[in-house]
Structure 1
Amino acid sequence: MSKTKILLAEDDYDFGSILKQYLEIHNYEVTWAKDGKEALDYFESNTTMEHCAFDICVFDVMMPHMDGFTLAEKVVHKYPEVPFVFLTAKKMKEDKIKGLKLGADDYIVKPFEADILVLRLQNILKRAQKNVSKQISTTNQSIGAYTLDTVNYQLIIGDTVQRITEKEAQLIQFFYKNKNKLIKREDLLTEIWGSDDFFSGRSMDVFISRIRKYFKQDTSISIESTRGIGLTFKIGV
């Protein structure tokens, strides 16, 4: 059985060394970068659109050359589905909100027990594994002026081809299957994310924002939010 691969970005040498050793004791394979730029180099050299070499990323927020938030933005742009966790010594509410808006699966304030990190990583990976089992139709679907290609993971309109992730395809299909109906947030989270906790909710918000942009060329399609209840994928009404 292959080990779970972690990309760790931590500039504190002593803390990073201890954390790497502790994670390896728990059977993780750890690639440790000493700053944000080095971490991005590791990520980009080992990741394609079809395959991410890392199962989860752990990023310190305050690092030289590139901070954790900037690093996460670049990682999410290239591979939106990889789960990631922020480590930080800062307790500012604004920083936590910024991290969650980027789609972070967790935000851990230093100092913390290494056991806590391991348990949180296990929970995140367990949720991610459940999502892998979600099946989507392999038949192309017409959605307004668009075609959803679920074999090649593309959303096509005219000559424009938008590459999408598997989770985005799952979300679009679920929306279309329930078009023009109010879908409760918890139902959407349970179906696609496998959990309706706070961090899954923040991740979903990021995905929905992205999907709204994908469909902006067809004005007959919209995703409307009903505060405190859920969302409606409106089409042709």
Structure 2
Amino acid sequence: MLKILYLEDEASLAKIVKESLASRSFEVMHLESGKNAVKIFNEFKPDVCVFDVMLPEKDGFEVAKEIRAHNTITPIIFLTAKNQTTDLLMGFDAGGNDYIKKPFSLEELIVRINNLYFLSKNKSGIADSSTGVKIGKYVFSTTKQELRFEKEVRKISFRECQLLDLLTNSMREIVTRKVILDTVWGDDHFFNSRNLDVYITKLRSYFKSDPKIEIITLKSVGYRLID
């Protein structure tokens, strides 16, 4: 039975979603605010989180950031009426894995929950010792979500960490766009594809101190990381 931590302050919607998930044999812990969400997360240990963004006392983005400070694995889906690109990017940078706009289909939500749970359990990872993984003159740590160059340490977002993890795990090999989009974003629709381009540009800028490191684009195919 999959355990879902569900944050939603709209009572009528929360009742419908909770009952629908329960009818599909999900165990749902529902909270009306983000105030004690991190404490409940640590105690409940959910398989997937479903967070409304606009919440009293502490919003969904804040809760996600606090969770990602010590947990980079559990998938987080944001539910929101917002539709601006900046809001979506804020959600991904806060550590979200997926983003569903209200109003949404309950069937779509269930499919995305199952998909993200499957990916989180089957995602191949790289060995990450206490010293991290070397990429040229950089050291990359998935557990600390950081990229180190000599004495300079850059904290990277959860999604940047996932993307770099995939590329590093297949160093010098092609990682297709579809594999990246399905693994990091949950699906390969157009908006996520555009986001991927933005994140690749950001990662390239992080490696500017070592010109030997390249993230090569194979148009319409994917990317290859070389050092």
Same fold (TM over 0.5): yes
1:68 positional shift: 1.9
Alignment correspondent of 1:79: 71
TM-score by length of 2: 0.66
Alignment correspondent of 1:109: 102
Moved more, 121-130 or 205-214: 205-214
Report the 3-state secondary structure (helix = DSSP H, G, I; strand = E; otherwise coil) of the residue aligned with 1:233: strand
Of 177, 184, 197, 2:188 maps to 197
1:4 positional shift: 1.0
| 1-structure distance, mates of 2:177, 2:40 | 36
Aligned residues: 219
1:172 aligns with 2:165: no
TM-superposition CA deviations, 1:190-215 (whole Å, max 9, x none): 6x559751376578679868866886
Alignment correspondent of 1:126: 118
| 2-structure distance, mates of 1:122, 1:183 | 24
1:62 aligns with 2:54: yes
Moved more, 96-105 or 161-170: 161-170
Report the 3-state secondary structure (helix = DSSP H, G, I; strand = E; otherwise coil) of the residue aligned with 2:91: helix
| 1-structure distance, mates of 2:140, 2:10 | 45
Report the 3-state secondary structure (helix = DSSP H, G, I; strand = E; otherwise coil) of the residue aligned with 1:117: helix
Alignment correspondent of 1:50: none
Greater CA radius of gyration, 1 or 2?
1
Alignment correspondent of 2:9: 11
Report the 3-state secondary structure (helix = DSSP H, G, I; strand = E; otherwise coil) of the residue aligned with 1:36: coil
Q: Is the 8 A contact 1:105 1:200 kept in 2?
A: no
Q: Is the 8 A contact 1:183 1:232 kept in 2?
A: yes
Unaligned runs of 5+ in 1: 48-52
Q: 1:204 to 1:38 in 2, by over 3 A?
A: farther
Q: Is the 8 A contact 1:101 1:203 kept in 2?
A: no
1:58 positional shift: 0.6
Q: 1:109 to 1:124 in 2, by over 3 A?
A: same
TM-score by length of 1: 0.63
Alignment correspondent of 2:87: 95
Identity of aligned residues (%): 30
